[in-house]
Structure 1
Amino acid sequence: MVSAIVGIIRVRIKFKGQAAHAGTTPMHMRSDALLAAAQTACDIRHVAAQMSSQKPEHYVVATCGQFNVKPNASNVVPGFAEISVEMRSDHRPSMEALHRQLGHIAAQAAAMNQVTLLSCETVTDTQPVVCAPQLMAHIRDASDSLGLPYKVMPSGAGHDAAFLSHISPAAMIFVPSKEGKSHCAQEWTSAKELAQGVSVLIDAIERFDGVHQ
């Protein structure tokens, strides 16, 4: 059972260094844009992990899933690097704190690696959404009546329900994926668990409609 749907802040960061020959440029003379980008990715991950451990009641993650490097050659020190950093949480203050930290981290990484921070542009910013307590209660009662165990957890993925919540109460039911895997070829849920999820949904809808009164 989903308690909340995370908000998402996505930031595009660009670093400019100096392309140079990988063999003839001494280490101390390099202006490596990729190093600054990589350091930013590592540092924001560390901060997100630290925030998550310090506030376990909130879901906080940060991901660097895209790198664009130029000239992208094995024998050239990268003169340009662009990365996409995505931060998600069910707690808006945590999102904003992580966002602020990212700006400081990128600036520090640029200075340490003798490159220029060209831009740190926010391209997506959506609010977290708390699921409707009344609908969650119906889902909980439906699970109990069917004898099915459940776990209350935030959704780390974005969903249409987050946008529907602006015009109507919204809630969600998750069914288990094998080993928790998602967005990959190994994602799989058994037919039995799918059927159980549908049963909970039907029962919860009937409760909402007053059939079980």
Structure 2
Amino acid sequence: MMVDLDALRPNIERLSHGIDELAAFHDSSFAGWTREVFSEPYRASRDWVRARMAAAGLNPTVDPAGNIVGRLAGRHGGGPALVTGSHTDTVRQGGRYDGIVGVLSGIEAAIRFQESGITLAHDLIVVDFLGEEANEFGISCMGSRSITGTLAAEHLDRTDNTGTRLGDAMAGFGLDPDAALRQAWSSSDVHAYLELHVEQGPQLERAGTEIGVVTAIAGIDRVLLRFAGSSGHAGTTPMSDRHDALVSAAEAVLAVERVGCGAPVHGVATPGSIESSPGSMGVITNEARLWAELRSVDRSWLHGARQQLVDQVVAATAARGVELDVEWLTDQDPVPAATAVQDVIAETAGGTGYTWQAVPSGAGHDAAHLARLGPMGMIFVPSVAGKSHCPEEFTATADIARGAHMLASTLFTLDQRDGLRSA
């Protein structure tokens, strides 16, 4: 089927209005946009997403893990589907565009196909994945893990800082955690997966490039370090006799930074949160906890950095007489995008006249998990100043429009291609 790809340009007023409406669902007690998984603003926003999908003719359903799944029937009916989507939860004090752009542009693509009189050969599935962002349970990408069969019973037993189990939090949100462990899709269900996302970094804007063709998604290793020292009077305990857990945690923060600065290729390390007890200026800290993460598209560096970090922290805590417990919370290796899908994205960018470049993704995405089911690719559009996960996150309307156009056009082209898995 020959189609002028200009016919698939989005209705940018409709798309922009949808972004504004969805962004209105947030916790106003925080700066920026906060719509954390299982929160009331998140619950309300998902009702809005389901209504938006229904109005677009996608007949949405909510699966046991809370994914909102919309389907537009193709000519062949059933069989492997084209899948697109992203997420609508945010980090605390996050931005307006992370995830949202991909979900709403997927819905917009479905609308434009229908408005243009195009019936794809494959079914088109648009998904708003539940809980993509990191959270207090230490398990991100909950919905896409369920769909790909990597959500495990041990994940449901993880607890947040209130002691609530993840499985209980899911049940309280109206989901079925046990069924979420059993609902994995088959690889035969997916023709290809394509996700549009804001870059969340500075490369495209600095290069003056309109479209990023993602080459790989960084692996992420998150770690919880627990330090056990000894309490004592802050005024009477000699410095040489102290076993201060908070000081050991502070040394570990610097170790995290050192490891990240030593990466030979794209690799970063970030200390994310630190807690201490009893939390009094007059008492030496006897317990502290530090959460940190390592990221890279280089698998060998990532695995080596894990050991390097542990070795440095073990040595520093032992020198202070502080005990250490190390718990790795996630272990997601780097995931390459399918070469065949990268090629189609680049070809489509050329056909639409957009400038493009190959870029890695330092952020994690649901796409990394969907790659288990079929050929996966991602399209990036520029982020102003590379800012993301903060209230200053911004992507220009013109860039969103180009991204949505690229998403619909690439989906159309992928629909025509056989042999993506063997390419």
TM norm structure 1 = 0.90
Matched, 1:126 2:332: yes
1:8-157 pair list within 5 angstroms: 8-51=220-263, 55-56=264-265, 59-117=266-324, 119-157=325-363
- With over 3 angstroms needed to count, the CA separation of the structure-2 counterparts of 1:22 and 1:195, relative to structure 1, is same
SS of residue in 2 equivalent to 1:126 = coil
Contact 1:44–1:105 (CA under 8 A) maintained in structure 2: no
Which residue identity lines up with residue 414 of structure 2 in the other structure? F
1:5 to 217, 220, 225: 217
* 1:167 paired residue among 359, 373, 383: 373
TM-score normalised to the size of structure 2? 0.47
CA distance in 1, matches of 2:344, 2:292: 37
What amino acid sits opposite 2:237 in the alignment?
A: T
Q: CA deviation at 1:70?
A: 0.6
Deviation at 1:207, TM superposition (A): 2.5
Q: Tell me by how many angstroms 1:194 deviates.
A: 0.1
Aligned letter for 1:103? V
What is the distance in 2 between the residues matched to 1:73 and 1:143? 58
Q: Is the 8 A contact 2:214 2:337 kept in 1?
A: yes
Amino acid at match of 2:247: L
Unaligned runs of 5+ in 2: 1-212, 418-423
State the Cα distance separating 1:24 from its structure 2 match: 2.2
Task: Judge conservation of contact 2:260–2:270 (CA < 8 Å) in 1.
Answer: no
Q: CA deviation at 1:137?
A: 1.0
Q: Given residue 407 of structure 2, which amino acid in structure 1 is its aligned partner?
A: L
User: What is the RMSD computed on CA atoms of the aligned residues?
Assistant: 1.6
Q: Is 1:179 aligned to 2:391, yes or no?
A: no
- What is the aligned counterpart of 2:404 among 182, 189, 198? 198
The percent identity for this pair of structures is 37
Q: How many residues align?
A: 205
Poorly superposed stretches of 4+, deviation over 4 Å: none
Shift of the alpha carbon at 1:26?
Answer: 2.4
Task: Using the TM superposition, give the Cα deviation of residue 18 of structure 1 relative to its aligned residue in structure 2, in angstroms.
Answer: 1.2
Cross-structure match for 1:189:
395
Does the residue aligned with 1:18 lie in a helix, a strand or coil? coil
Structure 1 residue matching 2:381: 3-state secondary structure: coil
Deviations 1:129-164 (A, max 9, x none): 100111111111222223322232221221111111
Larger deviation: 187-196 or 151-160?
151-160
Structure 2 letter corresponding to 1:159 = H
Q: Secondary structure at the match of 2:389?
A: coil
Task: State the SS of the aligned residue for 2:330.
Answer: strand
